[in-house]
Amino acid sequence: MMIFDGIYSDVVTSFGSLWNYKVRENTLEIITPFATTSSKFVSVFLSKIGREFIVSDGGWVYEGTYGNTFDRDIDCYNKIFTHYTDSFSIKETLSQTGTSYFYKKTEHQISVPSLIFDMANFISSIVSASGVEYEKEK
């Protein structure tokens, strides 16, 4: 966790002491105090590649780790999803196995706590929205 010590301290200083973390090889899982309507706490994943700090959902939204169903084919959900990705300036990439990863990145260490906060809000919002039952109009 050495390279992330200062960043994690900045997060706790900025947003309070309810945060926690787990070291996962070269990635830091940051367990946030944000919750979903499925009663799960949101985690974000911080890594550094080259000069860039990357904050992602770890593929957990797509994989349904929060007890959610991720289905952009549902028109109402897709509109909500697009709204949040645009509002938070979230990017998406696909792994070789087809898993969608949502992320934000920066070269500026001082910006990382803000990206962590945005990703946690984004994940909480879209996971909670996926719990709504959407029906097509008849």
pLDDT exceeds 80 at position 26: yes
pLDDT exceeds 90 at position 49: yes
In this structure, are strands 91-94 and 52-56 parallel, antiparallel, or unpaired? Answer: unpaired
Any residues with CB less than 8 A from the CB of 77 and at least 6 apart, and which? 71, 129, 130, 132, 134
> In this structure, what is the dihedral angle of CA atoms 69, 75, 80, 83, given to the nearest 10 degrees?
130
pLDDT exceeds 60 at position 1: no
Listed residue (116, 94, 115) closest to 21, CA to CA: 116
pLDDT exceeds 90 at position 56: yes
Spelled out in words, what is the top-level CATH class assigned to the domain 2-130? Answer: alpha beta
- Is pLDDT larger for residue 123 or for residue 133? 123
Q: How many CB atoms lie within 10 A of CB 103?
A: 18
Q: How is residue 95 annotated by DSSP?
A: -
- Residue holding tokens 């109009």? 137
Gap between the Cα atoms of 102 and 125, Å rounded: 13
Domain boundaries, the chain: 2-130
Q: How many CB atoms lie within 10 A of CB 64?
A: 13
pLDDT exceeds 90 at position 102: yes
pTM of the model: 0.86
Q: Are 65 and 71 in contact (CB under 8 A)?
A: no
| 2 SS3 class | helix
